[in-house]
Structure 1
Amino acid sequence: MENPSASSHFIKNIVIEDLKSGRVDHVVTRFPPEPNGYLHIGHAKSISINFDVADEFKGRTYLRFDDTNPLKEDVEFVESIKEDVRWLGYEWDGLFFASDYFDEMYDRAVLLIKKGKAYVDDQSAEEIRLTRGTLTEPGKNSPHRDRTVEENLDLFERMRKGEFKEGDKILRAKIDMGSPNMNLRDPALYRISYATHHNTGDKWCIYPMYAFAHPIEDAIEGVTHSICTLEFEDQRPFYDWVVAECEMPHQPRQYEFARLNLTNTVMSKRFLKQLVEENVVDGWDDPRMPTISGMRRKGYTPESIRNFVRETGVTKANSVVDERMLEHFIREDLKLKAPRTMAVLRPLKVVITNYPEDQVEMLDAEINPENPEMGARQIPFSREIYIEQDDFMENPPSKYFRLFPGNEVRLKNAYFIKCNDFIKDADGNITEIHCTYDPETKSGTGFTGRKVKGTIHWVDARHALPAECRLYEPLIMDDAEEEGDSFLDRINPNSLETLHGFVEPNMKEASGNDKFQFFRHGYFNVDPKHSTADHLVYNRVVSLKSSFVI
């Protein structure tokens, strides 16, 4: 794996100072996703920070599933998250679940009640919301706030036994309804939920709230640096309150960084789930999705994603990163790795009228001119070939150097051909071009007799393999957002274009997630979900060039 310590940032500096001062003598971080959806590119940044920081200081990183809400969680998401973390190149030092600690969390909640720091409230969710106050006005105490310790202990135990309906009662922290930090206005600690948990089954009918469970989990696991995104900054006082008042032997500290935001990209799991459930996309792994599984299926490599998230840096200032920066890193990664090949996406037949009808010759072509060690390949050439429709024009504009009547071009790795005639169908569409070739101009022979200005690609019609090629554009358009628009109104109707063309016959052995550079078209990935030996499907990862510069 690349050296992650090439650049510093404020979290690394904090760790350095903590080790130097003796606050800690080792480093433990954790990546704590909730298993209620698939990981996306924003999670990749959190994964990178947590694992890279621990690796640099020879520490440990845990993968912990914050599974405190059984209504939204599923084993499918647990397994997908594990797969994605490993695919990105990381291996955790311990695998844990919040549900592993439900017994201890319950005991800590009982401790809070005994200390007079928690109480059972009978108010509805709406009543609690209305009495919480605003940023400029204090909240109002619950009429149940001053229940005795004995009454609260009894009610909480009865909540656990399932004697009340969902929403009838909750356990709240007893802090300060007048606090300027609204997160300290008696936040909820436990709620009733009669839902089967993926890990604990029906053992519990009360579940801890995330904000209460999270600091306890960190403390139990010995986490030294609890690294999370900036939206949790206001939660930090409550995080510290839980650790202190629950009398946890280990005291972790929370640090926040700015989350990753990308142009033309939505990373809210709620919105991503909506796209899946309403069949806007082909599942969580649709190549248009910003999920790790979607990016993997599209053709992104773990190296490109790691390099991208590291380049974005670690700061406390929110910003939006141009999606073209992400594309830059996949180009950089693939340009030395991906074999070159030719593919015709919008085929137009060319008949080379002076080429022998029964002849087939094998031509030499480089696999990757930027990496000569990859060697060469051979491609068949015969009388009939396919070229791109855009590479021929009947009446071309000036400075059009591709094929048109009377013009000569070079076929990549082959010969010069000259257009002499063409055929149209009843609707006026050009269906076939007739050309002649010059056998003296074979590529690689050193021919210098004359020059042509245009070089076009092609595939041999007799041997080429049919292929479905999918071209992608952003699924969500930032500039489509207007006041009053719903999320689905921002969907780009042109986010997927499916073309049926041909590829070189040496692509027959390509398998899922093999990557290639299609000459003049871009980098493509064999779709691991839909491609078969009889039906090749390629996803365009990224175009060849961009004006974006780092």
Structure 2
Amino acid sequence: MTDIEKPTNFIQQIITADLEAGRVKEVVTRFPPEPNGYLHIGHAKSICLNFGLAEQFGGTCNLRFDDTNPEKEDDEYVQAIIEDVRWLGFDWGGEPRFASDYFGQLYSWAQQLISDGKAYICELNAEQMREYRGTLTEVGKNSPYRERPAAKSLELLEQMKVGAIDEGAMTLRAKIDMSSPNINMRDPVIYRIKKIPHHRTGDEWNIYPAYDFAHGQEDAIEGVTHSVCTLEFAANRPLYEWFTSNLPLPSIPRQYEFGRLNLNYTMTSKRKLKQLVDEGHVDGWNDPRMPTISGLRRRGVTAASVREFCDSLAVAKTDGIVDVAQFEHFIREDLNNNASRAMCVLNPLKITLSNYPKDQQELLVAPGHPNRDDLPSRELPFTRELYIDRNDFNEDTTLSRKKFKRLVIGEYVRLRSGYVIRADEVLKDATGEIIELICSYIPGTVGQDPPEGVRPRGVIHWVSATNSVDCDLYCYEKLFTVAAPDAGEESFIDHLNPDSLQIIKQCKAELGLAGAEVGQHFQFEREGYYAIDAKHSSAGKLVFNRTIALR
């Protein structure tokens, strides 16, 4: 390994030691989402870690869907997850894997646990099971069905499987230790009856394995060497290891936990994110205000910035909260380096250049990026009638140059990549609102210093009034008004930001943006970073999402 590749976190150290000791020949990791919602920024850290470890150590990472709960799962989520992982730039090789691929094998292993006296069919209902389980301070007590003969449990399991038993009437439980201080070890349920069609297996099964039973066995089938998950599964590891040590598995995987990613002003509970979608508080799972990967992509966040952010985070054995400003830094940094430049006037004010020929048009040239020669330059139509931003003009001629570096009557500004102009006259309507400025341009000042005595206050952006494109801008702010929206007694719904979306219509953008496509990123000079909205844009209608403001 090179110096750059030397282990920097505890999981890398474990893998290095396993390889050097010969305990592992080839590293195999996995990313195992449950297809019951869209992936979010917290998942991105796990994706980058698991795929990154496999890449670093020359191994493989499997994409595996833990689809053991048909009640909440859907193929829509499967396809969205596949798209998200691919967008982040990762490849799992071959087809995605599914827990449902292994239902037959898992059922056979459940039968073996019964035959070995390590599992039994229990007829306690959910409420009784909670009562028998005990509490953190009180041990549980054995189910009255715990010593049921193996033959009878095998018979009942088969009846459960073929649909002869009602939902809730029976479960298959592992026989472990009802007095264990770890409640997960108190005879956990490993199969439940669910007479619900599965998104892949249809009506083939009437029972489904619990996640805790399926997960370790799936890892073993796939030859996973390092099963890396977040800290909330630490208490489940003894159960994971109990199953792997009590079944004739083809390999013995090991589970390691790391601290999950928590961002302030953000919520990553899939159940609560689904509530936002179902109740119409957001425009679907891919709403650009959502912390989902698809929402970030639609907003214009780049895959590279997500990966850089995730790679910057500590892989530790404790949870922590990361300031969202840290994520925004990586988004802004990537877009600053890579986004093409363009001009867009958000609040247009017409100006007429009185000394510019009426029918003349020039094509001025502006760089595509100030530091990137590989990004093509832009052609800007320059005409007698232009638009500037209304905020770039002020009637108060007493404002100092230091306080207001834009246009006032009788003074000059430079148009970005264009001429120096002077404001000469203000035109107003009957209500006193400014509707137009009459200005004059200084010939020979494109890319050249103005004549002596002409001192521009500053530089402003502009577009041609007769040769530009209309667009709408969707400007997003934080979805929540508090740093921890799902903490405390109030509902997270109470903390939704009513100003999280501002729509600015009838903006004027430079002509070259007429051909902008989804996936392109732009810095609208002096305004922020924007990207085409994949949902609201259409032929003849340009809609840009503001990805992030300038610093």
TM-score, length of structure 1 as denominator length: 0.95
Which one-letter code corresponds to 1:515 in the other structure?
A: H
**Aligned partners of 1:522 and 1:543 also within 8 Å:** yes
User: In structure 2, what is the equivalent of residue 493 of structure 1?
Assistant: 498
Q: Equivalent of 2:450, from 443, 447, 452? A: 447
**Aligned partners of 1:65 and 1:97 also within 8 Å:** yes
User: In structure 2, what is the equivalent of residue 531 of structure 1?
Assistant: 537
Deviations 1:359-385 (A, max 9, x none): 222212111111134342221111211
Alpha carbons of structure 1 residues 330 and 67: separation in structure 2 relative to 1, 3 Å: same
User: In structure 1, what is the equivalent of residue 238 of structure 2?
Assistant: 237
CA distance in structure 1 between the aligned counterparts of 2:38 and 2:240, rounded to whole angstroms: 26
Deviations 1:459-485 (A, max 9, x none): 110001001111111112324847432
1:92 aligns with 2:92: yes
Q: Secondary structure at the match of 1:488?
A: helix
User: In structure 1, what is the equivalent of residue 288 of structure 2?
Assistant: 287
User: In structure 1, what is the equivalent of residue 153 of structure 2?
Assistant: 152
Q: Equivalent of 1:503, from 509, 512, 529? A: 509
User: In structure 2, what is the equivalent of residue 55 of structure 1?
Assistant: 55
CA distance in structure 1 between the aligned counterparts of 2:260 and 2:440, rounded to whole angstroms: 59
1:318 aligns with 2:319: yes
**Aligned partners of 2:407 and 2:457 also within 8 Å:** no
CA distance in structure 1 between the aligned counterparts of 2:349 and 2:489, rounded to whole angstroms: 46
**Aligned partners of 1:261 and 1:320 also within 8 Å:** yes
Correspondence 1:85-484 to 2 at 5 A: 85-94=85-94, 95-395=96-396, 398=400, 399-440=403-444, 442-447=445-450, 449=452, 450-479=454-483, 481=485, 483-484=488-489
Which one-letter code corresponds to 1:516 in the other structure?
A: F
**Aligned partners of 1:512 and 1:529 also within 8 Å:** no
CA deviation after TM superposition for structure 1 residue 403, in Å: 1.7
More off after superposition, 315-324 vs 402-411? 402-411
CA distance in structure 2 between the aligned counterparts of 1:391 and 1:126, rounded to whole angstroms: 68
Which one-letter code corresponds to 1:412 in the other structure?
A: R
**Aligned partners of 2:349 and 2:387 also within 8 Å:** yes
CA deviation after TM superposition for structure 1 residue 31, in Å: 0.7
**Aligned partners of 1:513 and 1:527 also within 8 Å:** no
CA distance in structure 2 between the aligned counterparts of 1:498 and 1:301, rounded to whole angstroms: 22
CA distance in structure 1 between the aligned counterparts of 2:520 and 2:175, rounded to whole angstroms: 57
CA distance in structure 2 between the aligned counterparts of 1:457 and 1:78, rounded to whole angstroms: 45
CA deviation after TM superposition for structure 1 residue 257, in Å: 0.7
User: In structure 2, what is the equivalent of residue 28 of structure 1?
Assistant: 28
Deviations 1:380-420 (A, max 9, x none): 11121111121122237551121223332221122222223
User: In structure 1, what is the equivalent of residue 523 of structure 2?
Assistant: 517
CA distance in structure 2 between the aligned counterparts of 1:518 and 1:6, rounded to whole angstroms: 41
Unpaired runs of at least 5, structure 1: 546-550
Alpha carbons of structure 1 residues 4 and 520: separation in structure 2 relative to 1, 3 Å: farther
CA distance in structure 2 between the aligned counterparts of 1:218 and 1:445, rounded to whole angstroms: 67
**Aligned partners of 2:289 and 2:479 also within 8 Å:** yes
CA distance in structure 2 between the aligned counterparts of 1:405 and 1:338, rounded to whole angstroms: 35
CA distance in structure 1 between the aligned counterparts of 2:214 and 2:457, rounded to whole angstroms: 68
CA deviation after TM superposition for structure 1 residue 520, in Å: 0.5
Alpha carbons of structure 1 residues 68 and 480: separation in structure 2 relative to 1, 3 Å: closer
CA distance in structure 2 between the aligned counterparts of 1:320 and 1:428, rounded to whole angstroms: 51
CA distance in structure 2 between the aligned counterparts of 1:222 and 1:375, rounded to whole angstroms: 48
CA deviation after TM superposition for structure 1 residue 106, in Å: 0.8
Which one-letter code corresponds to 2:307 in the other structure?
A: R
CA deviation after TM superposition for structure 1 residue 7, in Å: 6.4
Deviations 1:229-255 (A, max 9, x none): 110000000000011112323110000
CA distance in structure 1 between the aligned counterparts of 2:522 and 2:236, rounded to whole angstroms: 47
Alpha carbons of structure 1 residues 427 and 480: separation in structure 2 relative to 1, 3 Å: farther
**Aligned partners of 2:117 and 2:150 also within 8 Å:** yes
**Aligned partners of 1:191 and 1:207 also within 8 Å:** yes
CA distance in structure 2 between the aligned counterparts of 1:488 and 1:154, rounded to whole angstroms: 48
Which one-letter code corresponds to 1:435 in the other structure?
A: C
CA deviation after TM superposition for structure 1 residue 358, in Å: 1.9
CA distance in structure 2 between the aligned counterparts of 1:46 and 1:363, rounded to whole angstroms: 48
**Aligned partners of 2:7 and 2:16 also within 8 Å:** no
CA deviation after TM superposition for structure 1 residue 186, in Å: 1.0
**Aligned partners of 2:412 and 2:455 also within 8 Å:** no
CA distance in structure 2 between the aligned counterparts of 1:48 and 1:281, rounded to whole angstroms: 27
Which one-letter code corresponds to 1:369 in the other structure?
A: P
CA distance in structure 2 between the aligned counterparts of 1:184 and 1:535, rounded to whole angstroms: 59
**Aligned partners of 2:61 and 2:92 also within 8 Å:** yes
CA distance in structure 1 between the aligned counterparts of 2:115 and 2:456, rounded to whole angstroms: 89
Q: Secondary structure at the match of 2:263?
A: coil
CA deviation after TM superposition for structure 1 residue 4, in Å: 8.7
Q: What value does the CA root-mean-square deviation take over the aligned residues? A: 1.8
CA distance in structure 2 between the aligned counterparts of 1:394 and 1:447, rounded to whole angstroms: 24
Which one-letter code corresponds to 1:252 in the other structure?
A: P
CA deviation after TM superposition for structure 1 residue 529, in Å: 2.2
TM-score, length of structure 2 as denominator length: 0.95
CA deviation after TM superposition for structure 1 residue 311, in Å: 0.6
Deviations 1:144-165 (A, max 9, x none): 2222222222221211121211
CA deviation after TM superposition for structure 1 residue 6, in Å: 7.3
Q: Secondary structure at the match of 1:62?
A: strand
User: In structure 2, what is the equivalent of residue 75 of structure 1?
Assistant: 75
CA deviation after TM superposition for structure 1 residue 175, in Å: 0.9
Which one-letter code corresponds to 1:451 in the other structure?
A: R
CA distance in structure 2 between the aligned counterparts of 1:85 and 1:374, rounded to whole angstroms: 28
1:43 aligns with 2:43: yes
CA deviation after TM superposition for structure 1 residue 498, in Å: 0.9
Q: Secondary structure at the match of 1:432?
A: strand
Which one-letter code corresponds to 2:271 in the other structure?
A: R
CA deviation after TM superposition for structure 1 residue 344, in Å: 0.5
**Aligned partners of 1:335 and 1:370 also within 8 Å:** no
CA distance in structure 1 between the aligned counterparts of 2:355 and 2:7, rounded to whole angstroms: 62
User: In structure 2, what is the equivalent of residue 548 of structure 1?
Assistant: none
Q: Secondary structure at the match of 1:477?
A: coil
